[in-house]
Structure 1
Amino acid sequence: MRMCDLVKYGSGALLPGLLLAGCATLPEPPKAYLPAVDVPAIAETVPVGTANDDAADDPAIWRNAADPAASLIVGTDKKAGLYVYGLDGKVRDFLAAGALNNADLREVTLADGTKRILVAASDRTDRSQPRIALFWLEGTNGKLSEIGTETFLPADRGSAEAYGFCMGGALGENDLARAYVVLKDGTVVESALFEQGDRIVPTYIRDVKLATQSEGCVVDDATQTLYVAEEDVGIWKVPLQTVLKAEAYARVGAQDGLVDDVEGLAIARDGKERAWLVASSQGDNAYTLFDLADGSMTGRFRIGGGEIDGTSDTDGIEVVLGDFGPRFPEGLFIAQDGDNAPEAQNFKLLSWQSIREALEIE
């Protein structure tokens, strides 16, 4: 260890005059790699079109109940637009829709009784004016069609950058769903999505503020609870039945199995009324599961050990349990891969059965 390392990492034996000498470019101390089991990916998507850049970000999953193996994945290229993939990882569609960061989808029933797949994403094309980009997804052929891009903040709220995004079920009498945009300053804005002719319009409802940069979020419809990742701090839960108030859920640190940044969040709920919150522990390239029944940490895993390369620096994740065909009989987990060199970034697909067995979940 060099003298400068002793200064940076806490030695009190050096004279004050040495503290400024030659230390300006020291790297940060390495982050701890906490214990985790390896689980192999069994498929991966075609890389996004933006090469040599941090581009792929956040996936969403639509499960085709009639033909589970024909289910679809939506994923963002945050420099270019929105992809649709099949479970084979091949591109079904791409829509050049600008700088879309995080995406989610919901099946909704329109006023005329039609059921459609609504896809929405945080649009940061204009960094000073946050918007929600909205699309229809056709389950039969995987094609996207653009509905429109809508603002949602009151005019007196000033400028802000849209960052994280997730959707939850309807909470009002006439809304189709609720949209949650996580602004980069830590503000989480709830909007109701209403059908208005050919448009889907977000209407501001309320917001809650976290102290620092936040992004990942997910809604547990079963308990009407929103979970938000404050990147350098941990995970917060926000009950949606009352006035929005953030409650600490898990903290960065070995005790809760999180190494900053805390990024994507997803909820896995099975048919036995069990559920887990899954978090991307980006700082040590791992994924941490929490039992939603009591908040305890169930286990941790990394993606690796198979014929497909592993993941690192993961941003967005998604998981849906249920039958997705013979390769994913119990459910599908997807993670963005921040380093897919020599190719551009992409998304890796895992079987939930492999994760469950690796973590010895009965």
Structure 2
Amino acid sequence: MRRRLAALPAALLLLPTVLLAPAAGAGPAGARPFSSEPALVTTSVETPVLYDDDEGGNASGDDPAIWVHPSDRDRSLVLATAKEGGLRVYDLEAAELQSLAATPAPRADGVDGRYNNVDIAYGLQLGGTTADVAVVSDRYNDQLRFFVIDPAGSAAATPLREVTAPEQGFLFSPDRATVDEEHTAYGVAVWQPGDGESYAVVTQEGDTTIATARLVAAADGAVGYTDVEHLEVPGSFPLPDGTTWVPCQEPGAEPQLEGVAVDRRTGTLYATQEDVGLWRIPLPLGTGAPLLLDRVADFGVHDAYDPESGECEPLDPAAPGFGGPNLVADAEGVDVWYGPGKTGYVVVSSQGDDRYAVYATADGNRSLGTFRVAGDGIDDVDGSDGLAVTNRPVGDYREGLLVTHDEPETGPDADPERDATGFSYVDWGAVADALHLRVDTSAGNDPRF
């Protein structure tokens, strides 16, 4: 079922008065924002380099997820997508434990996959046992893929094993020919509302559509999905000067969303629309209006697509934007760090200026500042796409762990002549110190219900 939201009717929370108000941390509306210097944290831990070429198996890092072991946190895992290169599994020292190829989907018309984003579903009932499952979006097959996680974690010989049920339906496409146009499954997050049901929230490449799908397990332990529903968020926005702004895209595309994360305590979805900003959306879809919490700096700048360069260029380079100082397009990865009660932090990667923005989960999602990640013996983190964060002590990260994508990977072990990516591990305690955030790992909110 598709629920379409009109551009911005007055009945929505996205009223013109909200859109014209200063974005989080912004100065006067209409003025081009200038941000204060971000806080600086460092890391010395990164995964082995991935290369997006034939020799490297066309592996391009994109999005991580952190699996927390139920009893021995030292055996927790980091999972990461590598697009056509499949999946990678790392331990808490960033050593690679397993590489899974993006094999053809188990469909009669299945093709080799392209794994874009990943999240974890905890405590699914599979074939009479309880198991944790990695949920992966497969762009080339417009579906979800599922991988059961060995409870031994990093001590397992093969931590992940695919359990995708055969002949799963397309999430956004009516047929295989449409799938091949690649407006398909993109970002993914797991939503477990606590009633024994589990859902995946999925965004669509090149479109403004978000889907939810209920996860189901077969008696043989395979995992599939059903009850797919859709919601479209706005793709055009009124501006104070009376014009309507549509973010510039390549022909045939709309301003897409990618990063999604669910605050499992409240059923609140946080979603990044790359050229627009950060949304807050109630779940289930359609039970409340989406609210645009923060906007990228160039929000409202009218661009034109240049077919020769393949880029969007401003019609007036001096035109002011109506966004805030926290995000520079693309707004990409997003996740939630849990504090006591309903407190905590929403973390968003600002890919356009190599920063991360932090917002409160309470207090109207107020902005709490931004930070950068510098390398200590490794390269700085640049152009981050996906990220994942946990509030649980894992390994040496006693106040939680942030894992973030890094592109380009330019460290001493990277070949500068190849398209290199990787992932960096950041001690959340260092982020908390830099931004004066409260850390309380005694809080509940364990991902297992």
TM-score range, shorter chain: 0.7 to 0.9
- Show the 5 A alignment for 1:40-119: 40-48=42-50, 50-51=52-53, 55-97=60-102, 98-110=113-125, 114-119=129-134
1:63-97 residue CA offsets vs partner (Å, 9 max, x unmatched)? 12422122100001112201110011111111102
- CA deviation after TM superposition for structure 1 residue 156, in Å: 4.8
Alignment CA distance shift 1:67-1:271 (3 Å):
farther
**Partner amino acid for 1:348?**
S
Q: Aligned pair count?
A: 326
Is the Cα contact below 8 Å between 1:152 and 1:191 reproduced in 2? no
- Show the 5 A alignment for 1:1-362: 35-48=37-50, 50-51=52-53, 55-97=60-102, 98-110=113-125, 114-126=129-141, 130-140=142-152, 141=156, 143-148=159-164, 150-153=168-171, 156=174, 159=179, 160-170=183-193, 175=197, 177-184=198-205, 185-198=207-220, 199-210=222-233, 211=235, 212-241=255-284, 243-244=286-287, 245-253=289-297, 255=324, 257-271=326-340, 273-294=342-363, 295-325=365-395, 327-341=396-410, 342-343=414-415, 344-362=420-438
Is the Cα contact below 8 Å between 1:153 and 1:204 reproduced in 2? no
Is the Cα contact below 8 Å between 2:265 and 2:342 reproduced in 1? no
Secondary structure, in 3 states, of the residue corresponding to 1:103? strand
1 or 2, which has the higher strand percentage? 1
- CA deviation after TM superposition for structure 1 residue 307, in Å: 2.2
Gaps of 5+ in 1: 1-30
TM-score of the pair, normalised by structure 1: 0.83
Secondary structure, in 3 states, of the residue corresponding to 2:394? coil
Alignment CA distance shift 1:221-1:306 (3 Å):
same
- CA deviation after TM superposition for structure 1 residue 360, in Å: 1.4
Secondary structure, in 3 states, of the residue corresponding to 1:353? helix
Secondary structure, in 3 states, of the residue corresponding to 1:264? strand
- CA deviation after TM superposition for structure 1 residue 269, in Å: 0.5
TM-score of the pair, normalised by structure 2: 0.68
- CA deviation after TM superposition for structure 1 residue 35, in Å: 2.1
1:38-83 residue CA offsets vs partner (Å, 9 max, x unmatched)? 1111311112353587810000001124221221000011122011
In structure 1, distance between residues paired with 2:189 and 2:421: 22
- CA deviation after TM superposition for structure 1 residue 228, in Å: 1.0
Secondary structure, in 3 states, of the residue corresponding to 2:377? coil
Is the Cα contact below 8 Å between 1:73 and 1:85 reproduced in 2? yes
- CA deviation after TM superposition for structure 1 residue 113, in Å: 5.3
Aligned residue in 1 for 2:447:
none
- CA deviation after TM superposition for structure 1 residue 165, in Å: 1.1
- CA deviation after TM superposition for structure 1 residue 153, in Å: 3.1
In structure 1, distance between residues paired with 2:172 and 2:330: 30
Secondary structure, in 3 states, of the residue corresponding to 1:355? helix
In structure 2, distance between residues paired with 1:293 and 1:228: 16
**Partner amino acid for 1:99?**
R
- CA deviation after TM superposition for structure 1 residue 187, in Å: 0.6
Gaps of 5+ in 2: 1-32, 103-112, 236-254, 298-322, 439-449
In structure 2, distance between residues paired with 1:124 and 1:241: 24
Is the Cα contact below 8 Å between 1:256 and 1:297 reproduced in 2? no
Secondary structure, in 3 states, of the residue corresponding to 1:311? coil
Is the Cα contact below 8 Å between 1:54 and 1:338 reproduced in 2? no
Aligned residue in 2 for 1:27:
none
Is the Cα contact below 8 Å between 1:42 and 1:351 reproduced in 2? no
Is the Cα contact below 8 Å between 2:82 and 2:88 reproduced in 1? yes
Is the Cα contact below 8 Å between 2:384 and 2:405 reproduced in 1? yes
In structure 2, distance between residues paired with 1:182 and 1:242: 13
Aligned residue in 1 for 2:7:
none
- CA deviation after TM superposition for structure 1 residue 117, in Å: 1.4
Greater shift in the superposed pair: 154-163 or 198-207: 154-163
Is the Cα contact below 8 Å between 2:382 and 2:408 reproduced in 1? yes
In structure 2, distance between residues paired with 1:95 and 1:49: 15
**Partner amino acid for 1:248?**
L
In structure 2, distance between residues paired with 1:32 and 1:78: 35
In structure 2, distance between residues paired with 1:231 and 1:187: 13
CA RMSD of aligned residues (A): 2.3
Secondary structure, in 3 states, of the residue corresponding to 1:357? helix
Is the Cα contact below 8 Å between 1:270 and 1:322 reproduced in 2? no
In structure 2, distance between residues paired with 1:75 and 1:155: 25
In structure 2, distance between residues paired with 1:305 and 1:121: 29
Is the Cα contact below 8 Å between 2:231 and 2:285 reproduced in 1? no
Alignment CA distance shift 1:305-1:77 (3 Å):
closer
In structure 1, distance between residues paired with 2:224 and 2:432: 39
Is the Cα contact below 8 Å between 1:100 and 1:122 reproduced in 2? yes
Secondary structure, in 3 states, of the residue corresponding to 1:354? helix
In structure 2, distance between residues paired with 1:256 and 1:228: 18
Secondary structure, in 3 states, of the residue corresponding to 2:87? strand
Alignment CA distance shift 1:39-1:67 (3 Å):
same
Aligned residue in 2 for 1:18:
none
- CA deviation after TM superposition for structure 1 residue 33, in Å: 7.2
